[in-house]
């Protein structure tokens, strides 16, 4: 692992570990803000067959636990691509619920919420990059293309060999 990844992953993850512990400690206080999003999203998710609780406090706690666990995984380089993807997915509802700048009428509060919303958008971009970072190794798509190319080449060699063998066998019969 490069020094950049060694430093960047824990730095990126720290926001989620700290924020997750804060959300666990203050779940009841955060629930009303979260309810604005969960009240819209949970019924749709339940309709799609996902077993989600209705209680906003419970959902805040689940999100906090997910952020702590995925943040720790990213920081310690345990499945960093998966961890970054999970964090990215958890950041979207957190940002929408936590920083609704469009609801603010006070210009100072609106500016503060907009700054936090954009900051989270920037962190989301970093998480997306981390989610596709193969650490200098070929990704799955490249490996699949390479395997297909190798299989095609091997099939061509086998076909050529089979034709040659058939020609030799035919020559021996005549």
Q: Long-range contacts of range 34-40, CB-CB < 8 Å, 24 or more positions apart?
A: 34/59, 34/60, 34/63, 34/93, 34/97, 36/97, 36/100, 37/93, 37/96, 37/97, 38/93, 38/97
Q: Helix (H, G, I), strand (E, B), or coil: what is residue 50?
A: coil
- What per-residue confidence (pLDDT) applies to 81? 93
Phi, psi of 133 (to 5 degrees): -75, 120
Q: What is the pLDDT of residue 135?
A: 77
pLDDT, residue 5, reads 87
Q: How confident is the model at residue 134 (pLDDT cuts 50, 70, 90)?
A: confident
Residues 6+ apart with CB under 8 A from 45: 52
Q: What is the pLDDT of residues 38-91, one digit of tens each?
A: 999 999 989 999 898 989 999 999 999 999 999 999 999 999 999 999 999 999
Helix pair 107-132, 80-98: axis angle to 10 deg: 170
Q: Which of 118, 135, 143, 127 is nearest to 89 (CA)?
A: 127
pLDDT digits (tens, 9 = 90+) for 88-108: 999 999 999 999 999 999 999
pLDDT confidence bin for 136, thresholds 50/70/90: confident
């Amino acid at each position: 692992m490069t020094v950049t990844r060694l430093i960047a992953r824990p730095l990126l993850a720290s926001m989620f570990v700290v924020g997750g512990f804060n959300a666990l400690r203050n779940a009841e206080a955060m629930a009303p803000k979260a309810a604005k999003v969960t009240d819209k999203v949970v019924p749709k998710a339940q309709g799609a067959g996902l077993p989600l609780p209705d209680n906003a406090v419970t959902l805040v706690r689940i999100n906090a636990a997910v952020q702590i666990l995925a943040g720790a995984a990213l920081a310690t380089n345990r499945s960093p691509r998966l961890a970054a993807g999970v964090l990215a997915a958890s950041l979207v509802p957190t940002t929408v619920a936590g920083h609704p700048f469009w609801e603010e009428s006070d210009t100072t509060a609106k500016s503060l919420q907009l700054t936090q919303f954009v900051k989270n958008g920037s962190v989301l971009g970093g998480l997306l990059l981390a989610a596709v970072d193969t650490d200098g190794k070929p990704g799955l798509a490249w490996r699949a293309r390479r395997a297909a190319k190798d299989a095609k080449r091997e099939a061509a060699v086998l076909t050529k060999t089979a034709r040659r063998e058939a020609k030799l066998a035919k020559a021996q019969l005549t």
